Amino acid sequence: MPETDRPVPSGDSHEPTVQRCFIDRLPVEDGKTYVPGTRILIERVISVRPLGAVIQAFHTGLDAPVTLRVMNPTIRDRLTDAHAFYRWVRKMARVRHPTMAAIYDLGHYDGYPYLVIGPVEGVPLCERTKERPFTQAEAVNLLAPVADGLAAYWRQGLLHRGVSPRRIVIAPDGVPVLDLVVLPTDSPDDFVLDAHAPFMAGFWSPEELEHRRDLDARSDMFSFGASLYFAVTGTTPWGEGTPAELFDRTLKQDARDVRKHCGEIHPDLCSFVGRCLKRDPAKRFESPKEFLDAVRRLQVTVAGEAPGVGTSGLRRAVRPKPGTRTIYSAGDVLGNCLLKQEVGSGAFGIVYRARHRVLDIAVAVKLLPLDVAEQDPQFVPMFLREARTAARIRHPNVIAIFEAGEQSGQHYLVMEYAPNGSVLDLLNERGGKLKPREALPILLAAARGLAAAEQLRIVHRDIKPENMMFGSDNVLKIADLGLAKRLPGEGDAGTMLAGAKRDQLTEDPTKVIGTPAYMAPEVALDPAQVDGRADQYSLGVTAFQVLTGVLPFEGKTSLETIMKHVKDPVPDPLEREPGIPRPLGQIVTRLMEKNPADRYESASKLVEALERISA
C-alpha cells in the first residue's frame, strides 16, 4: 500500500464519517454491501486521505479487484470549479498505460463523488529504498516505463503533478505503477494543493511551489528526475528535513550533485538528473521527445539494455451463428452509455459506437445477441472472458476494457473506442499491401501488445488484420480477446482438425475466412499445448499479407488451408515482394516456422528484433 495512504486504525476520527455517511448507507444483498447502479462490492476501508477515503472493492463484472476513491462532499463543495475537476478526470480516463493507475468509472452516491480505478498494489519506492538504494541500472530500468506513462499523459494535454517515490508503487511482478493524482491545471484550489504538498516535499518543482498556472510537462520531468535521484541515493536532491524546509531549499538552492552520494555515478545519469532538476524550466528538456530520447539512451548506456522492452483448444468445435437479436439498439441507454450507431458485428457480439455519459468520452459497447446466448450457455462466460482477460492487460497497444455488465438480461462490454479502422481496412484502402516502412511500426506495436499479454501468460489466439485496430491517435491496438486464455489452461476436447471437419469453421465451406488463414500448425495438431508462440505465427502470417498483398497459404476450404499451414514449406516473402528489406523478411519467415521452438523465445525477444531494424 502506498505511503500516501494512511491506514485507518480502529477509532480513527475519520473512519466513522466514511463508515456512517457512505458505506453504512449503501444497500446490502446476501450479506454483501454494493454500490447501486454498479457491479461493485465493497470490501473494506483501506485508508483515509485529507480529501477523502480509499476503499477496497471488487467488480463482479470484470471479476477483478478495484479501488474506490471517495471524495468528502465538503471538499467537493469547496472546489472553485467542480466542472474543471470532472473535465480533468474525464481526460485522465482516456489514458491507458501499464504504469499509470487507470480510471474505470466516475460516479456519485448520496452526495459522495467517487472514482473507480484499477488497484495499485505493491511496495512504494520510498519503502523499497529503506532496504538499500537501487543500483543505477536497476533504477533506470524501473523508472523508464514510468517516463513512458507520463508521455501518455502529456499526449492528452495532461500533467500528473504527483510523481514521487511515495506514489511510485512496485507491484509484486516488479512493474512500477504511478498512483493516481487529480490536480487540474486550469482551476487548482490552493487547499487541494496543500493537501498533496506533504507527500511532494523534495519532489515538486519550483513552479509548482509558486502555484504558477503555466505549468507544462517540464514540471513532471523535474519530479521524475528527483525520484530517480532518490532511487539511487535514498534521499531527496535537497537532503532530509521537514516539508517546509525542503520547499524552501527547492525554491532557493540548486539540487545537490548526485555524485556526492554515489561516487561511481555514470556521467550520463548525472547529466540527465541534473538537467531534470534545473530550477529554471527553460533549462530542462525542451520537449517530451527530447526527454524520452534521453531516457532511452540511459537504458542503453547505464542499464545496458535495449530500450522499450518490457513492458485447451483454440476455438470451440461449434462456432456460434451470428446473432442479431438484442434488447437495446441505437438511441438506447445501456448502463452509463448512450448507444449511437452500430459499427460492427461478429460471432460473439454486435458493437456500437457510444458515449459514456459520465466520463464524457466515446466508447465502444459490445452486446452479446440473445439468440447467440441461447445457442449454448457457454457463450455468456466466453463473452465475459473477453472483458476479464483484457482488464488484466494495461498497455497502449491493447484495447482497454472499462466495464462489463448485464442489464435486463442483456450482457455487454464497454471498451475503448478505436475510430480509425483496422489493419484490414487500411489494406483495402491501399490496394492490399503496405510499404515496409509503413508496415514495420504496425508490426512493432502489435508485438509490444503481445509482449504485455505474454507477461500475464495470456495467449490471444486470434491475431489477424481485422483484430488490429487504430485508436484516435492512430496508435495500433490489439482487439477482440474473446478467444484468449490464460496459461496453463484446460484444452478443449478433440483437435482443431476435428472441429474443422464438423463445421469447416465457417458457414460457407468454399471460402477461407477468419482464423484458419492465420492459424499456427500446433493449433490444429495439439491445441491443448498452445502458448504465446502461436500468436507469433499469426502475426507472421499477418506480416506476410501486409507486405506482399497475399496470404502465405490458401485453400479451397478451411480444412485445406489448415493442412497447408501444417505441411507446406514457408514461402519466402522476398520472392513475392523483392523490395522487402532482408532483415524484415527474415523476421517474418522465422515467425512462421512450423516448430514453435524455432520462433522467438518470447514476444519480448521479437520486440527487440523489430526495434533493431527500426533504428
Specify whether 528 is located in the same domain as 444: yes
Specify whether 297 is located in the same domain as 353: no
Give the Cα separation of 487 and 72 in Å (integer): 42
Q: What is the mean pLDDT of the chain?
A: 83
33 within some domain: yes
Summarize the confidence of residues 457-477 as an average pLDDT: 89
Q: Identify the pLDDT of residue 499.
A: 35
CATH label of the domain that carries residue 18? 3.30.200.20
Q: Dig out the grid coordinates for 241 from the structure.
A: 528535513
514 within some domain: yes
- Residue 287: pLDDT band (50, 70, 90) is very high
Specify whether 512 is located in the same domain as 389: no
Q: Residue 169 in 3-state DSSP?
A: strand
327 within some domain: no
Q: Identify the pLDDT of residue 67.
A: 92
- Whether 203 and 227 have beta carbons less than 8 Å apart is answered as yes
- Residue 377's nearest CA partner among 318, 337, 427, 293 is 318
Q: Residue 551 in 3-state DSSP?
A: coil
- Residue 411: pLDDT band (50, 70, 90) is confident
The whole model's pTM is what? Answer: 0.62
**Which residue is it, cell 486550469?**
186
Specify whether 596 is located in the same domain as 461: yes
Q: Identify the pLDDT of residue 485.
A: 55
179 within some domain: yes
- Residue 131's nearest CA partner among 170, 163, 189 is 170
- Residue 301: pLDDT band (50, 70, 90) is confident
**Residues facing 49 on adjacent strands:** 52
Q: Identify the pLDDT of residue 531.
A: 86
320 within some domain: no
Summarize the confidence of residues 350-374 as an average pLDDT: 86
Q: Compute CA 285 distance to the chain's CA centroid, rounded to the nearest angstrom.
A: 26
200 within some domain: yes
What are the backbone dihedrals phi and psi of residue 237, each rounded to the nearest 5 degrees, phi first? Answer: -65, -5
Specify whether 601 is located in the same domain as 516: yes
Summarize the confidence of residues 269-277 as an average pLDDT: 96
- Identity of residue 563: M
- Segment among 184-188, 417-421, 544-548, 579-583 with least mean pLDDT: 184-188
310 within some domain: no
CATH label of the domain that carries residue 237? 1.10.510.10
User: In this predicted model, which residue has the larger pLDDT, 445 or 404?
Assistant: 445
Q: Dig out the grid coordinates for 516 from the structure.
A: 484458419
The domain in which residue 412 lies consists of: 333-416
137-141: long-range contacts, CB 8 A cutoff, minimum separation 24: 137/302, 137/303, 137/304, 138/231, 139/228, 139/231, 139/232, 140/228, 140/269, 140/295, 140/298, 140/299, 140/302, 140/303, 141/299, 141/303, 141/305, 141/310
What are the backbone dihedrals phi and psi of residue 233, each rounded to the nearest 5 degrees, phi first? Answer: -120, -25
- Residue 484: pLDDT band (50, 70, 90) is low
Radius of gyration in angstroms for the set of CA atoms belonging to the chain, rounded to a whole number: 26
Summarize the confidence of residues 273-301 as an average pLDDT: 93
DSSP, residue by residue, 468-483 = EEE-TT--EEE---TT
Specify whether 430 is located in the same domain as 411: no
Q: Identify the pLDDT of residue 290.
A: 94
User: In this predicted model, which residue has the larger pLDDT, 486 or 288?
Assistant: 288
Give the Cα separation of 348 and 539 in Å (integer): 22
- Segment among 54-63, 182-191, 192-201, 283-292 with least mean pLDDT: 182-191
**Which residue is it, cell 505549468?**
215
pLDDT at 8 over 50: no
Specify whether 153 is located in the same domain as 272: yes
Which domain-ending residue is among 117, 143, 162? 117
Specify whether 146 is located in the same domain as 287: yes
- Segment among 292-296, 376-380, 606-610 with least mean pLDDT: 376-380
Q: Identify the pLDDT of residue 38.
A: 84
Report how many domains make up the chain: 4
Specify whether 349 is located in the same domain as 440: no
Give the Cα separation of 400 and 106 in Å (integer): 16
pLDDT at 20 over 70: no
Q: Residue 417 in 3-state DSSP?
A: coil
- Residue 98: pLDDT band (50, 70, 90) is confident
pLDDT at 496 over 50: no
- Residue 611: pLDDT band (50, 70, 90) is very high
**Which residue is it, cell 472441429?**
499
- Residue 362's nearest CA partner among 74, 90, 582 is 90
Specify whether 435 is located in the same domain as 567: yes
Q: Identify the pLDDT of residue 409.
A: 83
Summarize the confidence of residues 395-406 as an average pLDDT: 87
Q: Dig out the grid coordinates for 281 from the structure.
A: 524550466
- Whether 325 and 369 have beta carbons less than 8 Å apart is answered as yes
> Residues of 245-261 as b/e, b for ≥16 C-beta within 10 angstroms?
ebbebbeeeebbebeeb
- Residue 561: pLDDT band (50, 70, 90) is confident
Specify whether 89 is located in the same domain as 140: no
Summarize the confidence of residues 221-243 as an average pLDDT: 95
In this structure, the number of other CB atoms found within 10 A of the CB of residue 292 comes to 19
307 within some domain: no
Half-sphere exposure of 369 (CA within 13 A, CB side): 17
CA distances from 552 to 538, 558, 594 (A): 11, 14, 13
Summarize the confidence of residues 184-202 as an average pLDDT: 83
Which domain-ending residue is among 250, 278, 301? 301
H or E element: which one contains 559? helix 558-567
Give the Cα separation of 232 and 297 in Å (integer): 18
- Residue 213: pLDDT band (50, 70, 90) is confident
Specify whether 568 is located in the same domain as 490: yes
**Which residue is it, cell 476479464?**
388
Q: Identify the pLDDT of residue 503.
A: 29
Whether the bond between 552 and the residue before it is cis, its omega within 30 degrees of 0, is no
Q: Identify the pLDDT of residue 456.
A: 82
- Segment among 311-315, 463-467, 575-579 with least mean pLDDT: 311-315
Which domain-ending residue is among 301, 317, 346? 301
- Residue 130: pLDDT band (50, 70, 90) is confident
- Segment among 166-170, 306-310, 435-439 with least mean pLDDT: 306-310
Q: Residue 411 in 3-state DSSP?
A: strand
H or E element: which one contains 375? helix 370-375
